[in-house]
Amino acid sequence: MSATQIQSPRSGQNSSGQDRSGKGSGGKIAPQYRRSGSSRGNFEMLAWLFMRLSGVVLVVLIFGHLTVNLLVGEGIHAIDFGFVAGKWADPFWQVWDLAMLWLAMLHGTNGVRTIINDYAERDATRLWLKIVLYAAAAAIVILGTLVIFTFNPCPVVDGVQLPGGFCPAP
């Protein structure tokens, strides 16, 4: 086996084609410094700030949600289709649930985005994971928003009332 040519450590020519990958170095990766310029904009700062602020708001929203749904009145036994229909007839709960949906989805999506950035090692993997993540998040946010605003507990199909004991007779 021919001896590998080793570049002088301090020659400062990292890009001369010499692979100093340090395989089996204990650490998996031997990073080459390749930070490209500086990234303008404050996206990472705003994302960081959003995580903290949305987290605080979500604590209030989620515990309010759990209290009203599970503890107040008959508590968990009152939950059925009619209970949800009743809540969404009230604009207050529409706004509450909408805020909860959007904040939780953006908070969670940003968290997973961070995890992908931290753990995905190849750029292609990173890209695909993020595409899947953003597609899933967008689908859930759009569908959820649609349901909150267009929810009709007593739909009439072809002039026939669908089952639901609480619906007024047509």
Partner 1 sequence: MTAELAEPASKIELPAGVGGGGEIPSFDVTLRVRRYNPEVSDESTWDDFHVTMYGTDRVLDALHKVKWEQDGSVSFRRSCAHGVCGSDAMRINGRNRLACKTLLKDLDTTKPITVEPIKGLPVEKDLIVDMEPFFQSFREVMPFLINKGHEPTKERLQSAEDRERFDDTTKCILCAACTSSCPVFWTDGQYFGPAAIVNAHRFIFDSRDDAGDMRLEILNDKEGVWRCRTTFNCTEACPRGIQVTQAIAEVKQAILARKI
Q: What is the binding site for partner 1 (CB under 8 A)? A: 3-4, 6, 9-10, 12, 14, 20-35, 38-39, 42-45, 47-49, 114, 117-119, 121
Cα–Cα distance measured from residue 105 to residue 32, given in angstroms and rounded to the nearest whole number: 35
Inter-CA distances, 7 with 1, 11, 18, 58, 139, Å: 18, 7, 7, 54, 51
Smallest distance, partner 1 to C-beta of residue 45, A:
6
Smallest distance, partner 1 to C-beta of residue 135, A:
22
Percentages helix, strand, coil for the chain (3-state, rounded to 5) are 60, 5, 40
Of 32 and 67, CB closest to partner 1: 32
CA–centroid distance for 18 within its chain:
41
Of 35 and 77, CB closest to partner 1: 35
Of 49 and 139, CB closest to partner 1: 49
Of 56 and 169, CB closest to partner 1: 56
Cα–Cα distance measured from residue 122 to residue 128, given in angstroms and rounded to the nearest whole number: 10
Cα–Cα distance measured from residue 51 to residue 55, given in angstroms and rounded to the nearest whole number: 6
Smallest distance, partner 1 to C-beta of residue 20, A:
5
Cα–Cα distance measured from residue 165 to residue 168, given in angstroms and rounded to the nearest whole number: 8
Smallest distance, partner 1 to C-beta of residue 121, A:
7
